[in-house]
Amino acid sequence: MTRLSIVGGGPAATLHAEASAAVAGVELVGVGGRPGSAGPLADAFGVDDAPLDVLISRADAIVVAVPPDAVPGVLARVRPPVRVVLVESPVATAVGAASGPNDVPVMAGANLLHAPTVRRALRSIATMTTPHHLGLHSRGPAPDWGAHATDRFGGGAMMDPGARLLPVLLAAAGAPVEEVAAQVSHHRGIDQRAALQLTLADGRRATADIAWADGPAEARLEVADANGAVLLDLLPQPGLEIDGRAVGPPDPHENPVVALGFADQLRRLAAVARGDTEPWIDHRVGVGVLSVVTAAAAAAAVDRGVAVGRVDPTRSPAALLRTA
């Protein structure tokens, strides 16, 4: 049995707790991290709302689902018996702060890359002949809880949902991002809409249009080559269409934590804790996504393309946007 602690008490922590109930061989042993931070979640799952040191002492694996400005402080305190940590996206507010504990492996939270329908789509995309169209489109209401839409979160729509959706676009692209250009609408550094153009290492371009807007959350990935197209709905629930044929329509009766990949992500985390496999998705992927978002903010501020990795690593996307 893999003992799991969840640091946090908000919506993301709740999804991970629900995943623990859906995965055999995983026991949720506590939530919270600071006094009173997760009382309702603890009550719902019959576990303690415990201090961070207690959560660490009880766990083989830990999920960190707190605002990104608090992540480095949590990771700095992680120690054995913890064998692996999963950090929800975004992994920090600034690239320079995104480091993990020295002796415990860290996975990046990228639940959609574990979702069965998404993985089927990516396998199909991998067989395509150098796709010339790669586009991500997302709309959904602005988060209205916790640190969202504040400097504590480091930015707005590009950080959430952007940092959770971009891993799918980057996986579909199959090549590193070298440069980012962006047009961003923001209020005091908190972006409400961002249109990104990503230049890949092989010369191709990908786009991402991410915005907070009224109405239900929705997100879609579109990929095409000369011979066909893949349309992948990511939110509210994954659904797949290949060359105009629905091959993975959403099942309204499927448990959302299964459909959205949280369950398979937790299975992977537990397998790493047992020593059966290596961490995937590696924490460096989460740092890479944050680097792309940071470059987008810097590009919007100067109104030109900016190379990924050539931005002040101590500054958050929000701080960079305020220099525009």
Tell whether 62 and 152 lie within a shared domain. Answer: no
Tell whether 63 and 178 lie within a shared domain. Answer: no
Tell whether 133 and 199 lie within a shared domain. Answer: yes
Residue 83 belongs to a domain with what CATH number?
Answer: 3.40.50.720
Residue 263 lies in a domain: no
Per run of 10 residues, the mean pLDDT along the chain (length 324 residues) is 97 97 97 88 96 97 96 95 97 93 92 97 95 96 81 93 97 96 93 97 97 96 96 96 88 90 98 96 95 97 94 94 86
Tell whether 179 and 288 lie within a shared domain. Answer: yes
Residue 120 belongs to a domain with what CATH number?
Answer: 3.30.360.10
Tell whether 150 and 22 lie within a shared domain. Answer: no
Residue 267 lies in a domain: no
| pLDDT attached to residue 109 | 97
| pLDDT attached to residue 99 | 85
Residue 259 lies in a domain: no
Where are the alpha helices (H) located in 23-177, listed in sequence order? Answer: 39-45, 52-58, 71-77, 116-126, 162-173
Tell whether 41 and 131 lie within a shared domain. Answer: no
Strand 218-225: give its sheet, edge to edge: 245-248, 239-242, 228-235, 218-225, 133-140, 205-212, 190-200, 177-187, 306-307
Tell whether 43 and 122 lie within a shared domain. Answer: no
Q: Are 273 and 62 in contact (CB under 8 A)?
A: no
| pLDDT attached to residue 141 | 95
Tell whether 141 and 170 lie within a shared domain. Answer: yes
Reported as a single tens digit per residue, the pLDDT across 46-89 is 999 999 999 999 999 999 999 999 999 999 999 999 999 999 99
Tell whether 297 and 220 lie within a shared domain. Answer: yes
- What number of other Cβ atoms are within 10 A of residue 293's Cβ? 32
Residue 222 lies in a domain: yes
Tell whether 296 and 156 lie within a shared domain. Answer: yes
- Report the alpha-carbon distance of residue 262 to residue 245 in Å, rounded: 26
Residue 260 lies in a domain: no
Number of domains the chain is built from: 2
| pLDDT attached to residue 156 | 95
Residue 300 lies in a domain: yes
Q: Are 154 and 289 in contact (CB under 8 A)?
A: no
Q: What is the pTM of this model?
A: 0.95
Domain hosting 97: range is 2-110+273-282
Residue 207 lies in a domain: yes
DSSP state of 152: G
Tell whether 102 and 135 lie within a shared domain. Answer: no
Tell whether 216 and 167 lie within a shared domain. Answer: yes
Residue 295 lies in a domain: yes
